[in-house]
Amino acid sequence: MSTATEHPRHPTIELDRVVIRFAGDSGDGMQLTGMQFTTASSLFGNDTATLPDFPAEIRAPAGTLAGVSAFQVHISDHDILTPGDAPSVLVAMNPAALKANLAAVAPGGTLIVNVDAFEERAFEKAGYPANPLTDGTLASYTVYEVPMTSLTMRVGKEAGVKPRDAERSKNFFALGLVSWLYSRPTESIVEWIANRFKSDPLVLDANTRAFRAGYNFGETAELFESNYQVRPAQLEPGTYTNITGNTALAWGLIAAARQAGLSIFLGSYPITPASDILHELSKEKHFGVRTLQAEDEIAGIGAAIGAAFGGSLGITTTSGPGIDLKSESIGLAVSLELPLVVVDIQRGGPSTGLPTKTEQSDLLHAMYGRHGEAPVPIVAARTPSHCFAAAVEAVRIAVTYRTPVFLLSDGYLANGAEPWRLPDVSSLPSIDPAFAEATGPVPNEPEPKEKENGHVEGQSNGSSGASGGEAGFQPYARDPSTLARPWAIPGTPGLEHRIGGLEKEDVTGDVSYDPANHEHMVHLRAAKVAGIAASLPPLEVDDVDGPGAAPVLVLGWGSTYGAIAAGVRRVRARGLQVAHAHLVHLNPFPPNLGEVVRAYPKVLVPETNLGQLVKLVRAAFLVDAHSLTKVQGLPFRAAEVEAAVLKLLGVNPETSLAEEDVAS
């Protein structure tokens, strides 16, 4: 297939970036279409960022607003940070897809609609009183009406597939058309189709024909005046792959286990949007990864705790509702002081909430959501690819400090994809599990001993206990620098001991109800988690003229990274100063966070919740931090962050730059 640039009747216009949204019924294959377009663009050398947006229902009634599934992709010739605020192109496979997504399209944007689906009954289902193509609804947009269904069915018939099946290839027609429109190389897509459908030659043929038909339609129909080109971006040299957050997270866990010389055990119960981590890890058994699809969320973490006791890297993955159920077990892990990674792919709540939509509303739950004083370290990923490094860091903390660790991601990161420059595997940090070692043969002499409470102990060395089986092994003795206790695994002679959820006596690990000991242990567990800060790098601040120079600091955490960084760029493009710092460690905070926030007259904290980090920051540092919140199940747009910064700067947001002027 030749590229459009060779056809003089269609001039090719260069763009620096474009945001395209594919929308259709959830059965129309829009996610797949979007991902293939993204992959083709990444392979071509563009920077890309994606935002899948799909309903919780597997197949809501066809043609209804509830069933609309969309995939937004931002491609550009320079590095970008977000999937784009507003699509400039919307591909709508039916009236419902148009209706559900029109409001998001940039003013004057382009609409490519499958005109075959625009008929009376479909208008009704979508809630359109009349045909939006003819009643003036779309007057401010450029509309291309393409008979995608009928053209797809025609090539399907040529391939010999039944009419009902032929229609199903129309997403490939759309993919072909948009690939032509944006001058995408077609080889990778054709290859992908051949591979994906190799088991069904008829479907393979139909899909390939539909894809080519879409491409050729763009090239030959006198519909489009021009097509477009987005040149490759100047990305940092290296080897890249396109990766979603969930895949990066799973790979990060595998990498961390390798660095620690541990075998992974994942106990997990399927839940949106975390299940893909279970799927991914289940595939990689040749890494020695064991996965258990447990009977419920509680069993998932329970089994992970059991595996951790046995010396494996215990992991459990879930989303908010699962965290609710796991809370008691996380408390147990706090008491046991065993390494454990609890992955929370946050989604909209409360309750079942918005299973497929993103939110950052579990931060305070991760921080405080257990009875008793039960501190747990928290690490949060900030971009899809950063999930890899965040997973390695969570494992480092869990293993080094013998503690459960929360690893927070969210629906936006989990399903969003971006190009990732592969790390040098040899540069990954080493993690030392430092298992307690066997003691020599130990006599088992009874040695009666008077305990403080007056009970005469019958057996064994008095300094052992509920815990210490033998000759003074102290399961709750601590490393002086990390305060970590020994990880003594079954099978090690001489270190037999018992642990549990009852309060421990310091050092011996004996069950203890002693008031002073309880207070001491509560402080010890808190000090251990607080002490992790000593191992953290100082928080970096992106402030052009040096830390403290700008009048406003935007402080974020997790998946708001892209929107904040892009919003900050837009403010700076106006000649204004603003600083950005982004937290990966939420508990404990990096050691210099207080210094950083106090260095700025104003601090803005954008979060997709009702202001959770801002509460922690205000409480910890007594600074008057401002909250910017959004709880729509969607990530921030760069423009929203920009507007909030301008407001704090006292600049009229009305004079804000149009999106086209500044790439996000």
Query: Scanning residues 193 to 212, which ones bind another protein (CB under 8 A)?
Result: none
- 403 lines the binding site for another protein (CB under 8 A): no
Site string for another protein, 334-353 (x = CB under 8 A): --x-----------------
Angle between helices 187-196 and 170-181 (to 10 degrees): 160
Minimum Å gap between C-beta 217 and another protein is: 28
Q: Which of residues 292-321 bind another protein (CB under 8 A)?
A: 292, 294-296, 298-300, 302-312, 314
- Applying CB under 8 A, among 4, 254, 390, 391 the residue interacting with another protein is 254
Rule CB under 8 A: choose which of 3, 15, 27, 45 binds another protein.
Answer: 45
CB 471 within 8 A of CB 439: yes
Residue of the chain from 29, 339, 384, 465 that contacts another protein (CB under 8 A)? 465
Residues 90-149 that bind another protein (CB under 8 A): none
- 461 sits near another protein (criterion: CB under 8 A): yes
d(CA 588, CA 585): 6
Using CB under 8 A as the binding rule, whether residue 270 contacts another protein is answered as: no
Reported as half-sphere exposure (CB side, CA atoms, 13 A), residue 292 has a value of 21
Give the CB-side neighbour count of residue 216, counting CA atoms within 13 A. Answer: 10
Residue 444 binding another protein, by CB under 8 A: yes
Span near another protein by CB under 8 A; candidates 94-102, 130-138, 485-493, 565-573: 485-493
**CB of residue 142 to another protein, shortest distance in Å:** 32
Find the shortest distance in angstroms from Cβ 79 to another protein. 11
Contact 509, 477 (CB under 8 A): no
Taking CB under 8 A as the rule, does residue 558 contact another protein? no
Closest separation in Å from C-beta 482 to another protein: 23
Which of 27, 147, 270, 462 touches another protein by CB under 8 A?
462
* Residue 236 within binding range of another protein, rule CB under 8 A: yes
Conformational region of residue 546, where left means phi above 0, alpha means psi within -120 to 50, and beta covers everything else: left
Q: How far is the CB of 265 from another protein (least distance, A)?
A: 5
468: Cβ–Cβ under 8 A, 6 or more apart, which residues? 461, 474, 475, 497, 508, 509, 510
**Closest CB to another protein among residues 115, 325:** 325
Smaller CB separation from another protein, 147 or 185: 185
d(CA 408, CA 363): 8
- In the complex, what is the shortest distance from the CB of residue 255 to another protein, in angstroms, rounded to a whole number? 6
Other beta carbons less than 10 A from residue 237's beta carbon: 7
Q: Which stretch binds another protein (CB under 8 A): 23-31, 164-172, 229-237, 650-658?
A: 229-237
At 604, list the tokens: 């803005």
Check residue 490 for interaction with another protein (CB under 8 A): yes
Decide if 334 contacts 376 (C-beta within 8 A): yes
Interacting residue with another protein among 204, 235, 364, 507 (CB under 8 A) = 235
What HEC string does 121-188 produce? Answer: HHHHHHCCCCCCCCCCCCCCCEEEEECHHHHHHHHHHHHCCCHHHHHHHHHHHHHHHHHHHCCCCCHH
Q: How many residues bind another protein (CB under 8 A)?
A: 83
* Minimum gap (Å) between residue 636 Cβ and another protein: 28
Near another protein by CB under 8 A: residue from 63, 339, 469, 486: 469
For 651-660, letters b (16+ CB in 10 Å) and e give: beeeebeebe
Query: Shortest distance, CB of residue 100 to another protein, whole angstroms?
Result: 30
Position 271 contacts another protein (CB under 8 A): no
Nearer to another protein, 34 or 469 (CB): 469
Q: Which amino acid is at 99?
A: K
Which residues does residue 606 pair with via DSSP β-bridges, in sequence order?
A: 628
Residue (306 or 551) nearer to another protein, CB: 306
Work out whether strand 541-542 and strand 579-583 pair parallel, antiparallel, or are unpaired: antiparallel
Provide the 10 A C-beta neighbour count for residue 405.
Answer: 26
Residues 379-398 that bind another protein (CB under 8 A): none
**CA atoms lying within 13 Å on the CB side of residue 439:** 14
Q: What are the backbone dihedrals phi and psi of residue 604, each rounded to the nearest 5 degrees, phi first?
A: -115, 130
> Using an 8 Å Cβ cutoff, are 41 and 83 in contact?
no
Q: Which of 186, 242, 268, 559 binds another protein (CB under 8 A)?
A: 242
Q: Does 258 bind another protein (CB under 8 A)?
A: yes
What does the radius of gyration of the chain's CA atoms come to, in whole angstroms? 28
Residues 494-523 as x/- pattern, contact with another protein by CB under 8 A:
xxxxxxxxx-------xx------------
The amino acid present at 573, given as its one-letter code, is: A
